[in-house]
Amino acid sequence: MPLRGRALALDVGTKTIGVAVSDALGITANAVTTVSRRGVKKDCALLAKIAAEERAEHLVVGLPLELDGSETRSARLARQVGDALGELLSLTPIYIDERYSSVEAERVLLEHDLSRKRRKEVIDQAAAVVILRSWLDHGDWSGLN
Sheet holding 56-63, edge to edge: 29-36, 16-22, 6-12, 56-63, 94-97
What are the extents of the domains in the chain? 6-138
Segment 79-103, tens digit of pLDDT: 999 999 999 999 999 999 886 666 6
Task: Calculate mean pLDDT across residues 108-127.
Answer: 67
Average pLDDT, the chain: 84
39 DSSP 8-state letter: -
12 DSSP 8-state letter: E
Residues whose CB is less than 8 angstroms from the CB of residue 38 and which lie 6 or more positions away in sequence, other chains included: none
Residue type, 117: K
Q: What are the start-end ranges of the H helices in the chain? A: 40-54, 73-89, 101-111, 116-138
Task: Calculate mean pLDDT across residues 21-27.
Answer: 92
CATH of 6-138, one of 3.20.20.10, 2.40.170.20, 3.30.420.140, 3.90.700.10: 3.30.420.140
116-138 and 101-111 helices, crossing angle to 10°: 120
Q: How confident is the model at residue 2 (pLDDT cuts 50, 70, 90)?
A: very low
Q: What percent of the chain has pLDDT over 90?
A: 55
